[in-house]
Amino acid sequence: MTKNPTETIAKSPGAGVQLEHFSYDNSIVRMFAIATTIWGIAGMLVGLIAAFQLVLPDLGLWDGIGELSFGRIRPLHTNAAIFAFVGNGIFMGVYYSLQRLLKTRMYSDVLSSIHFWGWQLIILSALLTLPLGITTGKEYAELEWPIDIAITLVWVVFGLNMLMTILKRRERHIYVAIWFFLATWVTVAVLHIVNSLEMPVSLFKSYSIYAGVQDALVQWWYGHNAVAFFLTTPYLGLMYYFVPKAANRPVYSYRLSIIHFWALIFIYIWAGPHHLLYTALPDWAQSLGTVFSVMLIAPSWGGMLNGLLTLRGAWDKVRNDPVLKFLVVAVTAYGMATFEGPMLSIKSVNAISHYTDWTIGHVHIGTLGWNGFLTFGILYWLIPRIYNTRLFSTKLANAHFWIGTLGIVMYAVPLYWAGWTQSLMWKEFDGDGFLVYNNFLDTVLQIIPMYWMRAIGGTLYLIGVFMMVYNLIVTTSKGQFVAEEAASAAPLPKNYVSKKGEYWHRWIERRPVQMLVASLVLILIGTFFELAPSFLIKNNVPTIASVQPYTPLELQGRDIYIRAGCYTCHSQMVRPFRSETERYGEYSKAGEFVYEHPFQWGSKRTGPDLHRVGKKYSDSWHYQHMLDPRGISPGSIMPAYPWLYENVLDNSLLPNKIRAMQSLGVPYPEGYDEKAATELQQQAATVVQNLQREGTLDDNQAQYIQDKEIIALIAYLQRLGTDIKAKAEAQ
Amino acid sequence: MKRIPSYIKVMLSLLPAGLAAAGLQAQTADAPAAENPENQLIFLLLISSIVIALACLLLTFAVLVLIRHQVATTAEGAAEGQAVKTSEPLLSWSKIQAALTRAVPVEREADIDMGHDYDGIRELDNQLPPWWKYGFYISIAFAAVYMYIYHWPGHDWSSIKEYEAEMAEAEIIKAKYQEKLAEGVNENSVTLLTDPASLENGKKIFTSLCAACHGMQGEGGIGPNLTDPYWLHGGSIKDVFSTIKYGVPEKGMISWQSQLKPNQMQEVGSYILSLQGTNPPNAKEPQGELYEPNSDQTEENETVGTH
């Protein structure tokens, strides 16, 4: 079709306006819709695998296969759910709404296409590398440095395409949805780049440039704001488009939009440290996390209120329209999760909830309820429209709604219960001052039934998604895809005279670049005040003289620990609670982590904390336990790691690793990269001797096992948390 | 028209959550929470978390009931083809909503239409809901007060001090326990128990904590075989008790005195000695020296030799 022909129409008496004809690009919307659905199913399927692995560790489907072990499956699930499912959902909604809100086609079809295929390639690379154990070991940022660079480039392409589209708009003011899109784009860019700074060792291996406490602070500044600016703000933008469209009602309050938008992006960025309460992070930073989380309730609820109150006068439609049902429950789930989040950020509540399944339940209210249901609502609304037809079956969509809702409830409620139960058991003392449940495993066995219910809840939710896919496929087969949707609008006049008495905020709504910069400045304020002091003020991390860098063998073992994703189930952070110091030993100090690139504090204790596991058991115990966890601890749900006993430890990168660590400030002596391999062999021989002396290995076995990965892992585990013990003994 | 509204269904499906929470509350109420300040604190915190959770549920439920009412009246209005009007009971939804949100009624919303039009989306300019606005102010005040109380110069709260206070309380409990301990069994006074109840207790402890290294039947594994007459650190009840209590750290045997009470160590020690001569399958080869019961001389020598 010919682009932009013009004609003259009489819009108002006496004024001739050139009306331009153009078309909206629905192809890119459809591509992202398909990707959203496919990756959504994939991500949820992987989540289901993880859920069943926790109750059936020896099912025979995944045990013994390193690529499928829980520690690698879980990052695959979180990355797929966040960046593949929700990510594509964001782009689908943005590409649909942006064109219509600005009365223009996307700036460049080529950029749209590069964005789409680039993003899918990144997802594919994640799908390949994460099961292979190629990971940075930082939660929700596991992808290695070459992929990080690719993400940055694709994100720039997306931003360029979006910004150029905004600049060539035919609408004078930009709508609140687009404010959220702009803030999302600029903040995610900052978060991703700052958190992903790493020192490459090889193409598939790098170390975070930050260590210990600082790494933790940067990581959770990132992790929390990935939730804020990837799972929340873009979806609020989508809510502001699709809720009023689907309900055919005006947005409830313009001034509420303004206030909650600016308050939300400013306050959100500060709240990250609430993931690190009672850790070795300085107290002042923890408290900032708490108070900013509490201040977040109102700005978050502003979005919920504006969404729900927009439905005033349209509530009767909710009864019949599955789209509105999904949107309403999504917004309600958003309200629940954003109230619960600040409650969990209060230290005394967090002391109970942290490291338990309460957190897992909480985030799934957000992802399954808010992100999932909003995405489904948008798909049900948008697919019939771009196919110029009606939804095949409203009944089936309603059934999807109910089975999905039931799935969420059956997922979340058992996990809340599991979290409370387990936390209580961890903390219970008897009258003589002894831990009642001194065997961690007892507290795990208690909640296995809840894990079963969670797996069933997740299954229900996924069944609902399959119902949707069927419904939508039949819908598309009944309609005709409108790749180019014709539209027309008057061009923007060159000069704009602002109306008298117009709202002050209209000024910045005409200036997208200024809005982008204003958003950037706001999020940088919180970023600066939170991150800078821990880097600039030395006494935030008191040094401990006895803390030494890892030996080469331990360093290699640590990389195996990271590769296996042990941090997905084991924390390395003993909090200063009597119940933890009695169970694990001395609480963790900031100065103990100065050489930890990256930090491995973890966020969930499916198994016990490991920070003080060093020297607690014999080498033989670890040897047998990694080979057959249930042989040592009947009922344990830890996977076995038989491949560690077959794989030869790859030392080819060792000199590179030592040099990388040196350049990050780890004080290995000059020229140590050359000696490292020899020292590694000596220490490995000592470990093997221990195993022989303890009767675990005979001579032949010792010969065989000497150069295997398990030896390095044992050396690492036996070192953990022992440096300050050495100090105590020396005194 | 008389179908159950969707919201009621959602709430019904949420009911199990409330019941679950209540069940847990009942369950914990049975626990001897008052015995220990730590437990008491946790108990209180837990209860308050549950109360918060229940309050959330209740609040959501109340809102949903009101929404349901709104749905019904809107639908009636639509059916009768007239502007939405509610009969005015004592406490009507519209009154509550008006009080909560200060919203301009739907029929007069043209007055506050901003005149914006984005792809057909219009924007109203309703007031900020007062409770929301004041709630926001309160949360900001809370933040200021919180930072003042915890971190203003002169207020030297820290999580480590909190920990030390907690440990100081625990010291009192420990001191009491130490007094009791003086009267309890130790490695010099311990005697072999043979009554079935004690051995049963010992077996439970053994299965939970010892079997990992010594095998479910004491046949040995990472640790030595406990069913043969050969012992690395002596085979009398006093030796076994002592090995359990202090451990042999250099060989991987953990010290259990911080996790097991003396009577428990006596029980598990007695149970271990009851396994003598049971010849379980897959038994590990003998280690250490032959120990002959009733030969006190040997016992003394071995004890000296290994410590």
Beta strand residue intervals within chain B, DSSP E: 230-231, 289-290
Element (H, E) at A198: strand A198-202
A501 CB near a chain B CB, below 8 Å?
Answer: no
- Asked whether the predicted pLDDT for residue B7 surpasses 70, the reply is no
A530 CB near a chain B CB, below 8 Å?
Answer: no
Three-state DSSP at A201 gives strand
Within 10 angstroms of residue A634's Cβ, the number of other Cβ atoms is 14
Beta strand residue intervals within A413-534, DSSP E: 484-489
DSSP conformational letter for A550: P
- Asked whether the predicted pLDDT for residue A661 surpasses 50, the reply is yes
Q: How far apart are alpha carbons A636 and A607 in whole angstroms?
A: 9
Q: Is the Cα dihedral B239, B240, B246, B249 positive or negative?
A: positive
Output A194 or A543, whichever has higher pLDDT: A194
A95 CB near a chain B CB, below 8 Å?
Answer: no
Q: Band the pLDDT of B15: cuts 50, 70, 90.
A: low
Q: Measure the CA angle with vertex A433, ends A427 and A437; round to 5°.
A: 45
Q: Band the pLDDT of B307: cuts 50, 70, 90.
A: very low
Half-sphere exposure of B27 (CA within 13 A, CB side): 13
DSSP conformational letter for A251: B
**Closest in A349, A353, A420 to B24, CB measured:** A420
Q: How far apart are alpha carbons A713 and B136 in whole angstroms?
A: 50
Beta strand residue intervals within B93-212, DSSP E: none
Three-state DSSP at A464 gives helix
- Asked whether the predicted pLDDT for residue B2 surpasses 70, the reply is no
Instruction: Answer for the pair A355, A571: CB distance below 8 angstroms, yes or no.
Output: yes
CA distance A578 to chain B (A): 6
Superfamily of domain B196-306: Cytochrome c-like domain (1.10.760.10)
Lowest-confidence range among A346-360, A605-619, B3-17? B3-17
Q: Based on DSSP, count helices (H) and strands (E) in chain B, helices before strands.
A: 10, 2
Average pLDDT, chain A: 93
Which residues are A648's β-sheet partners? Answer: A708
Kindly determine whether residue B56 and residue A336, on different chains, have CB atoms separated by under 8 Å.
yes
**Closest in B17, B133, B261 to A432, CB measured:** B261
Q: How far apart are alpha carbons A712 and A490 in whole angstroms?
A: 69
B103 CB near a chain A CB, below 8 Å?
Answer: yes
pLDDT in tens, A443-470: 999 999 999 999 999 999 999 999 999 9
The percentage of chain A sitting over the pLDDT mark of 70, rounded to a whole number, equals 97
At A13 the pLDDT is: 43
Q: Band the pLDDT of A221: cuts 50, 70, 90.
A: very high
At A8 the pLDDT is: 42
At B89 the pLDDT is: 55
User: Residues 19-58, chain A: which have Cβ within 8 Å of B?
Assistant: none
pLDDT in tens, A117-135: 999 999 999 999 999 999 9
pLDDT in tens, B155-173: 878 899 999 999 999 999 9
User: Residues 111-140, chain B: which have Cβ within 8 Å of A?
Assistant: 113-114, 116, 118-129, 132-133, 135-136, 139-140
Lowest-confidence range among A134-138, A153-157, B149-153, B299-303? B299-303
User: Residues 41-100, chain B: which have Cβ within 8 Å of A?
Assistant: 42, 45-46, 49-50, 52-53, 56, 60, 67, 70-71, 74-75, 78, 84
**Closest in B5, B52, B177 to A319, CB measured:** B5
φ, ψ of residue A569 in degrees (nearest 5): -125, -20
The closest alpha carbon to B114, from A616, A111, A503, belongs to: A503
- Asked whether the predicted pLDDT for residue B255 surpasses 90, the reply is no
A490 CB near a chain B CB, below 8 Å?
Answer: no
Kindly determine whether residue B78 and residue A316, on different chains, have CB atoms separated by under 8 Å.
yes
Question: What is the pLDDT averaged over residues A391-412?
Answer: 96
- Asked whether the predicted pLDDT for residue A218 surpasses 90, the reply is yes
- Asked whether the predicted pLDDT for residue A306 surpasses 60, the reply is yes
Distance of CA A413 to the CA centre of its chain: 22
Instruction: Answer for the pair A643, A625: CB distance below 8 angstroms, yes or no.
Output: no
Question: What is the pLDDT averaged over residues A199-216?
Answer: 95
Task: Locate the domains of chain A by residue range.
Answer: 6-493+516-530, 552-730
A261 CB near a chain B CB, below 8 Å?
Answer: no
Which chain A positions have a beta carbon within 8 Å of B109's beta carbon?
A: 250
CA distance A144 to chain B (A): 35
Instruction: Answer for the pair B190, B241: CB distance below 8 angstroms, yes or no.
Output: yes
A244 CB near a chain B CB, below 8 Å?
Answer: yes
Instruction: Answer for the pair A53, A73: CB distance below 8 angstroms, yes or no.
Output: yes
Q: What is the CATH number of domain A6-493+516-530?
A: 1.20.210.10
Q: How far apart are alpha carbons B111 and B258 in whole angstroms?
A: 74
Instruction: Answer for the pair A119, A81: CB distance below 8 angstroms, yes or no.
Output: no
At B208 the pLDDT is: 84
Kindly determine whether residue A578 and residue B5, on different chains, have CB atoms separated by under 8 Å.
no
Which residues are B231's β-sheet partners? Answer: B289
Buried b (16+ CB within 10 A) or exposed e, A267-290: bbbbbbbbbbbbbbbbbbbbbbbb
Q: How far apart are alpha carbons B300 and B114 in whole angstroms?
A: 96
At B37 the pLDDT is: 53
What are the CA-CA distances from residue B244 to residues A142, A148, B135, B283 (Å)? Answer: 43, 52, 58, 21
Tokens in use for A537? 């003020």
At A247 the pLDDT is: 95
Instruction: Answer for the pair A297, A339: CB distance below 8 angstroms, yes or no.
Output: yes
Half-sphere exposure of A648 (CA within 13 A, CB side): 7
Average pLDDT, chain B: 77
A253 CB near a chain B CB, below 8 Å?
Answer: yes
φ, ψ of residue B247 in degrees (nearest 5): 70, 175
φ, ψ of residue B130 in degrees (nearest 5): -55, -45
Assigned fold of A552-730: Cytochrome Bc1 Complex; Chain D, domain 2 (1.10.760)
Instruction: Answer for the pair A374, A467: CB distance below 8 angstroms, yes or no.
Output: no
Q: Is the Cα dihedral A138, A142, A145, A149 positive or negative?
A: negative
Provide the Cα torsion A115, A116, A121, A126; round to 10°.
90
At B29 the pLDDT is: 41
Three-state DSSP at A20 gives strand
Angle of the B196-205 helix axis to the B262-274 helix axis, nearest 10:
100
pLDDT in tens, A366-394: 999 999 999 999 999 999 999 999 999 99
Task: Locate the domains of chain B by residue range.
Answer: 6-85, 138-182, 196-306
Instruction: Answer for the pair A422, A356: CB distance below 8 angstroms, yes or no.
Output: yes
Lowest-confidence range among A171-185, A236-250, A611-625? A611-625
Question: What is the pLDDT averaged over residues A315-337?
Answer: 94
- Asked whether the predicted pLDDT for residue A602 surpasses 80, the reply is yes
Q: Is A542 left (phi over 0), alpha (psi -120 to 50) or beta?
A: beta
* Tokens 């591509």 sit on residue: A31
* Tokens 């016990």 sit on residue: A608
Q: How far apart are alpha carbons A101 and A625 in whole angstroms?
A: 59
Tokens in use for A415? 């996990």
pLDDT in tens, A95-117: 999 999 999 999 999 999 999 99
A241 CB near a chain B CB, below 8 Å?
Answer: yes
Instruction: Answer for the pair A178, A245: CB distance below 8 angstroms, yes or no.
Output: no
Three-state DSSP at B125 gives strand
At B304 the pLDDT is: 40
